[in-house]
Amino acid sequence: MRILTVDVGGTHVKFLASGQKHKREFPSGKGLTAERMVRAVRDRARDWDYEAVSIGYPGLADHKGPRAEPENLGGGWVGFDFAAAFGRPVKVLNDAALQALGSYEGGRMLFLGLGTAVGSALIAEKTIVLLELGQLSFRDGSLADYLGRKGLRRLGREQWQRALGQAVAALKGAFAADYVMLGGGNVEEVDPLPEGARRGGNENAFEGGFRLWETAVAPVEHVSPADVWKLVL
């Protein structure tokens, strides 16, 4: 099956189709509505052949599509008929979960996306569980306060790296993960890798989009911070 994967971000929309070697992209931002995104992607991918579409969405999403409007984009995402707009079957997945799926190397994997905030997901036995670990308490703030982009700028790379190492060790143990996959735009700042961690990257979102149609993946669940203990106890 030929898949078009669309990774919607706060600054750019990136997309790639099965069999193509180079991604394409365009700026996003506060004025980007769902309708404008689809129109721009279709126009720029009109010479590509694809049968279905995977969308990585920067917010809560389930099998029905986006569940909340994005903070850094325009409106009109919740309830939008992506299948009708693309003229193809469409699956929508949270962007962190999509990158996690593309990064998955078997076993029980915990994913941390190091970007503007902290994306997170757990994959085990072909089930993807979307988490909100960025909201968990950490030191005198939250995990996102320390590991997000603002935390990196405030702490400096050395202190940020130390906080990351502490978080990886604690979360790996709490979730009984075989390994922690680090992704997101700031993964390039990580050196060395914390013990038990592996390096992924934003490009894995495209592989996640392809896998979303090609493998038997259970429906995505969303777990709030209050429910995290139900998973780790």
Domain locations in the chain as residue ranges: 3-93, 97-232
Shared fold status for 3-93 and 97-232? yes
Reading across the β-sheet that carries 90-94, which strands appear in turn?
Answer: 24-27, 12-17, 3-8, 52-57, 90-94
Mean pLDDT of 100-110: 96
Helix (H) or strand (E) holding 95: helix 95-103
Mean pLDDT of the chain, nearest integer: 91
pLDDT at 228 > cutoff 80: no
What is the pLDDT at residue 216?
55
Which tens digit of pLDDT belongs to each residue from 138-168?
Answer: 999 999 999 999 999 999 999 999 999 999 9
Task: Tell me how far apart the alpha carbons of residues 22 and 201 are, in angstroms, rounded to a whole number.
Answer: 16
Reduce the secondary structure of 31-89 to three states and give it as a string: CCCHHHHHHHHHHHCCCCCCCEEEEEECCCEECCEECCCCCCCCCCCCCCCHHHHHCCC
Residue from 226, 204, 178 nearest 97 by CA: 204
Within 13 A of 41's CA, how many CA atoms are on the CB side? Answer: 29
- 229: pLDDT strictly greater than 80: no
Q: In terms of CATH architecture, what is 3-93?
A: 2-Layer Sandwich (3.30)
Residue pLDDT, tens place only, 189-223 = 999 999 999 999 889 999 999 999 985 554 445 54
pLDDT tens sequence across 108-120: 999 999 988 899 9
Share of the chain above pLDDT 90, in %: 80
The count of residues in the chain is 233
Paired with 63 in beta bridges are: none
The CATH superfamily label for domain 97-232 reads ATPase, nucleotide binding domain (3.30.420.40)
